[in-house]
Structure 1
Amino acid sequence: MTGRFAEEIVTTHRGGIRGTVVDGIHVALGIPYARPPFGSRRLREPAPVPPWSGVRDCTRFGPVVPQSAELPGAPAWDPRREDVLSLNVWSPVGEPGRGLPVLFWIHGGAYTFGSSAQPDYDGTALARTGLVVVTCNYRVGFEGFGHVPGLPDNRGLLDQIAALRWVRENIRAFGGDPGNVTVAGQSAGGGSIACLMAGPRAGGLFRRALVHSVPDAYFPREFAAALSREVAEAAGLPATADALSAADPQRLVEASDQVARRYADDPLAGPLHYDTVLYGPVLDGDLLTTEPVEALAAGAATAVDLLVCHTTEEYWLMHEVGSMPPVTTEDGLVRYLADQRLPPRLAADYRSLMPHASVRDVFLAIAGDAVFATHSVSLAEAHARAGGRARLARFDRRRTRPDGSAVRAWHAADVPFAFGTLDAEGIDFLTGGPADADDRALSRRMVRAWADFATRGDPGWAPLGANRTPADVHVWSVPHDRAEGELPAHARWRNLRADAMHLS
């Protein structure tokens, strides 16, 4: 149907679904790809959805997985709803069998919160370029990544693999090509993709990978087990499979928040004091046997084309939202470097590159590089050295507000530009205010680059060579894009800091 607003029924392998058609884009929301992960399936691998009779209404997003976060424009977790493993599809209206490229999005959220219903993840603009866009929910927090003795680790990653298998089996019905799938994600979503590339379980489910701001956060099993014991103790439970499987999800969410606050309040707590993320991919010896940089360097995914991007001021977002304790003194900066096992000289090196910055800003620059930027660059370089095709980009879009304050190129600011969702609810916080003409032009360039990469593996600039040079790095900026070597003076120091961090 081609009206501005209509209905369209699509037949999947499990049954018919009814979505809506808006201005030529078919939108199907809340399609289940696995059974509810509760009851006898609690804390276990996702199980297939049984077939249904009739036509299922898929005109609203599915419920959110257990979490305490409430994000602008997105539904909050409702403990009464258990059908949380769902996905959404945006596709251009037309005849089935067109074989359009597929972009599969994995949301971020520190492996602890988030959902596919966030307004900046609307797939309409990308679908208008000729893509079939899929976004999915997956288990986060304790449900997805808490270590439980005798039960599988990395349940959130297993959910993502199950959703990708759904795409392989069903996406033709939406006009997509199951042999031309690009996985895309930011932050925890990008880290998830790095894990899927590193391990064998997702082999053959995607052809390309597009990752933004990948965190260096992979937990040895012993560390994950120790954190789970702390959460169980805070919940008043024994750290056993039976007790944790039977626990109220709300109780584990609250216990996790309690443990995170305790680390944030203790300056002597080591690395978790500065980054109180309790959950992440576990080196379980099965799905993930080694950290992704090592796996990519060994050639684990050379057949997968890779595009990596990070922002130039990642950690300023964490300061703005108050998710990490500030470091504002020289002594505190020295202690941070020691806790993170980073070279003590980094403070002086960064100070020489940004001599007028406050201690807080030096800390934020180092922390952003340590957690996101350097790791993202390392993934691209390792993939290229192993013989894979890897491209690298940085997001450096800045503005000045009317009051003279700076709009930073911080963590997640690039996402609404790449999705073409600059007018979505709650986006002003990430972008610093209403979009202007330069912002909209940048968004069009980023949407086009994502679409071209998903279609044919070429976003518009060359892959990394054997030895990276500034010209190999594409910089997204306003009023126009540039090569890294052409960064303005206020940002030029960023060319050097990844090299300093590599020496750690």
Structure 2
Amino acid sequence: MAAADRTGPVVRTPYGAVRGRLEHGVAVFRGIPYAAPPFGPHRFRPPVPPEPWHGVRDALAFGPTAPKPPYSDAFAQYLSDPVVPGDDCLNLNVWTPEPGPGARLPVLVWLHGGALTRGSSSVPVYDGRTFARDGVVCVSVNYRLGVEGYGLFPDAPANPGLRDQLAALRWVHRAIEAFGGDPDRITLAGQSAGAISVGALIAAPQAQGLFRRAVLQSGAPEASDRDKVRRMVRRMAARLKVPATAEAFAAVDRELLLRTQAEVGRLSSPVLGGPAFGVVVDGDLVPRDPLQVLVEGRAAAGAELLMGWTRDEYRLWLVPGGLLERVDRLGAVALAGAMARCRAGHEVPRGYRALRPDAGTAEIVGQMVTDHLLRRPLHRLADARPGTSYVYEFAWPSLRPGLGACHALELGFVFDSGDTPESARLAGENVPRELAEAMHAAWVRFVTEGRPGWEPWGPAHPVQVFGDGEPHIAHGPRDAELALWAAPGAAPVEPAPAVAPVAGPSAGSARTTEPRSVARLLRRSGGARRR
């Protein structure tokens, strides 16, 4: 270590002192443990506090990432996913302009996306330096992924990955004042799977009082079908030839477990469903469906919410590997799969065709599923919280061919990290600086003041559109499509039932059915995964 590193800022955490580094006028602390390594006796169990340490611990490099399979080649050309080896993967990073008590700066806690199977806090696009530069203490978190974090077993508590996030949030609430943050002004934010996690946490009774406001980017509060998650575990167990228990899985070689998870999950698709890991109602941390709890106003009352989507979310799910063209060729078969996925009657796709007469099947399918997964539930959430909800749409198209304004594209603009090579993988080179400055400034305002700079949600459905040209308000830009779901034959989404705290055998869970030809299509193309 260079001598200059020994002169970096030192901050005391609840478990010991850490030394960071000054970078471009910002103090950065990386790889701080907030819980013990989740292996050995702690594997598949809720997180426990880390062992305290004596002296000063260097916090100069990103800590180990949670075990995860790599992205397929088709997705790796667009998405960065660094791997840092080691067991101490329950760690976080802090960027602050003013370490030390007394500053009382607003705090942003970031939960990364990656379908709950990939991603980490060390993705360069999530560099918190720009938030710290603008007076916000930024914290990014690693948490358990895949079967380690979201497998459903009869002999272990559910949702250990979500419990990791809760432990990190508690750490931040307790420790952030020493880094210059204000524990009473914490904003919990995430994208995709990270936003789904945010939704679960702001609805969780155990998380109340740990945050002040929340950001949900391209992810809505939801509870996954328990049988869908259990099918992932059972299929893995069948391939491994072991019982579908946490005890048996803990005895399997870690690399073999990851390979098996990747093989079983390759058909999981946001567009057409399939077995996948997700947050489930567990009767404890998640006692009821999070969306239902939040719509009823039973949690986070008065908390400001910033939420939205990208115009062409589905293109990241369909463009890599040429799946978009294959869905277009399948035509009616793919449309039937999307109707099953969304539990929609024939009136819905007919209405989309009328509104988009020049659209191909892939666009119809993609927008239907996007509305089902994201826009409908976020509209419900905003309708339940008028005056304190702010909604946006990101509509700037990527400079990479075919991607449009796809899923995850807004991240480089929110973090103002578009000049990184990792951001350019998805956005292309020379992205518009004015758009990045406007979007990043809106997030800073929301974290700081609770208002991003446009009117809150109300009867006129104002949506701030970030696209080509100046950001502007559009009133009800998705209302025509979403009204189709109220037509006769369009079934509403049923909330997940409450269950006992310890996961038992699933009873009465509905399976999502998919036409066999669609499943074969996904198998040939290598599948598509939500970021």
Does the TM-score normalized on the shorter chain lie above 0.5? yes
For residues 24 and 350 of structure 1, what CA distance do their matches in structure 2 show?
51
What aligned pairs does 1:245-256 form with structure 2 within 5 A after superposition? 245-256=250-261
Matching residue of 1:461: 454
Q: Give the Å deviation of 1:68.
A: 0.6
Matching residue of 1:10: 11
For residues 40 and 94 of structure 1, what CA distance do their matches in structure 2 show?
35
Which range moved further: 416-425 or 83-92? 416-425
For residues 323 and 44 of structure 1, what CA distance do their matches in structure 2 show?
40
For residues 383 and 244 of structure 1, what CA distance do their matches in structure 2 show?
42
Q: Give the Å deviation of 1:319.
A: 1.0
Secondary structure at 1:397's aligned position in 2? coil
Matching residue of 1:392: 391
Matching residue of 1:480: 470
For residues 38 and 91 of structure 1, what CA distance do their matches in structure 2 show?
31
Which range moved further: 409-418 or 476-485? 476-485
Alpha carbons of structure 1 residues 334 and 410: separation in structure 2 relative to 1, 3 Å: closer
Alpha carbons of structure 1 residues 169 and 350: separation in structure 2 relative to 1, 3 Å: same
Matching residue of 2:281: 283
Matching residue of 2:441: 448
One of 102, 115, 125 as aligned partner of 1:110: 115
State the one-letter code of the partner of 1:283: V
Q: Give the Å deviation of 1:164.
A: 0.7
RMSD, aligned CA = 2.4
Is 1:496 aligned to 2:495, yes or no?
A: no
Alpha carbons of structure 1 residues 218 and 55: separation in structure 2 relative to 1, 3 Å: same
Alpha carbons of structure 1 residues 298 and 496: separation in structure 2 relative to 1, 3 Å: same
Matching residue of 1:176: 181
Would you say the 8 A contact 1:216–1:372 is kept in 2?
Answer: no
For residues 217 and 111 of structure 1, what CA distance do their matches in structure 2 show?
13
Q: Give the Å deviation of 1:291.
A: 1.9
Q: Which runs of 5+ in 2 are unaligned?
A: 491-531
Q: Give the Å deviation of 1:502.
A: 5.1
For residues 474 and 132 of structure 1, what CA distance do their matches in structure 2 show?
25
Matching residue of 2:82: 75
- Structure 1 segments, 4+ long, off by >4 Å, are 3-6, 70-74, 323-326
Q: Give the Å deviation of 1:456.
A: 1.5
For residues 157 and 502 of structure 1, what CA distance do their matches in structure 2 show?
33
Percentage of matched positions with identical amino acids: 37
Would you say the 8 A contact 1:154–1:281 is kept in 2?
Answer: yes
Would you say the 8 A contact 1:183–1:210 is kept in 2?
Answer: yes
Which range moved further: 127-136 or 332-341? 332-341
Is 1:413 aligned to 2:409, yes or no?
A: yes
Secondary structure at 1:83's aligned position in 2? coil
Q: Give the Å deviation of 1:238.
A: 0.5
TM-score normalised to the size of structure 1?
0.88
Q: Give the Å deviation of 1:298.
A: 1.4
Alpha carbons of structure 1 residues 161 and 129: separation in structure 2 relative to 1, 3 Å: same
For residues 253 and 324 of structure 1, what CA distance do their matches in structure 2 show?
24
Is 1:422 aligned to 2:421, yes or no?
A: no
Is 1:147 aligned to 2:156, yes or no?
A: no
State the one-letter code of the partner of 2:165: Q
State the one-letter code of the partner of 1:480: E
For residues 67 and 287 of structure 1, what CA distance do their matches in structure 2 show?
24
Matching residue of 2:528: none
Q: Give the Å deviation of 1:272.
A: 7.9
Secondary structure at 1:219's aligned position in 2? coil
Q: Give the Å deviation of 1:73.
A: 5.2
Is 1:432 aligned to 2:428, yes or no?
A: yes
Q: Give the Å deviation of 1:47.
A: 0.5
For residues 306 and 239 of structure 1, what CA distance do their matches in structure 2 show?
39
Matching residue of 1:344: 346
Structure with the bigger RCO (C-alpha within 8 Å, sep 6+) is 2
For residues 421 and 34 of structure 2, what CA distance do their matches in structure 1 show?
27
Q: Which runs of 5+ in 1 are unaligned?
A: 265-270, 487-491
Q: Give the Å deviation of 1:297.
A: 1.6
Is 1:55 aligned to 2:56, yes or no?
A: yes
Matching residue of 1:365: 367
Secondary structure at 1:391's aligned position in 2? strand
Matching residue of 1:315: 314
For residues 243 and 60 of structure 1, what CA distance do their matches in structure 2 show?
34
* Aligned residue pairs, count: 475
Would you say the 8 A contact 2:310–2:406 is kept in 1?
Answer: yes
Would you say the 8 A contact 1:43–1:144 is kept in 2?
Answer: yes
